[in-house]
Structure 1
Amino acid sequence: MPLTRKAYRAAILHSIADPAEVGIEASYEYFEDGLLVVDNGQISALGHASELLASLPADIEITHYQDALITPGFIDTHIHLPQTGMVGAYGEQLLDWLNTYTFPCESQFADQAHAEEVAGIFIKELLRNGTTTALVFGSVHPQSMNAFFEAAQKLDLRMIAGKVMMDRNAPDYLTDTAESSYLESKALIERWHGKGRLHYAVTPRFAPTSTPEQLTLAGQLLGEYPDLYMQTHISENLQEVEWVKELFPERKGYLDVYDHYQLLGERSVFAHGVHLCDDECARLAQTGSAVAFCPTSNLFLGSGLFNLPMAEKHKLNVGLGTDVGGGTSFSLLQTLNEAYKVMQLQGARLSPFKSLYLATLGGARALRLEERIGTLQPGTDADFLVLDYNATPLLSYRLKQSKSIAETLFVLMTLGDDRTVAQTYAAGNLVHQR
Structure 2
Amino acid sequence: MTIVNTLFKQPARRLYTWKSPGDVRRNQIDYILMSSRFKNSAVNCRTYPGADIGSDHNPVIMQMKVKLKIPHSKQTKTVKYCTKLLRLSEEAEKYAVLVKNKFQCLYVEETDATRDIDQQWDCLKEAIEKTNEEFLPRVNREAKQEWITEDILDMMKERKRLKGSDAYKHIDNNIKMACKTRTAKEEWLNSKCDEIELLSQRNDLTAMLHKIKSFQPKQTVTASCIKGKDGEILFETEKIVLRWTEYVEELFSDQRCANLIQEHLQGPEILRNEVEKCLKDMKYGKAAGIDNISCEMLKALGDFGIDTLTELCNKMYHTAYIPEDLKTSVFILLPKKPRATDCSEYRTISLMCHVLKLLLTVIHKRIAQKIDSEISEMQAGFRKASGTREAIFSLKILVEKHIEMQKDMYA
TM-score range, shorter chain: under 0.3
Bigger CA radius of gyration? 2
TM-score, scaled to structure 1: 0.18
- Compare the two structures and name the one with the higher helix fraction: 2
- Compare the two structures and name the one with the higher strand fraction: 1
TM-score, scaled to structure 2: 0.19
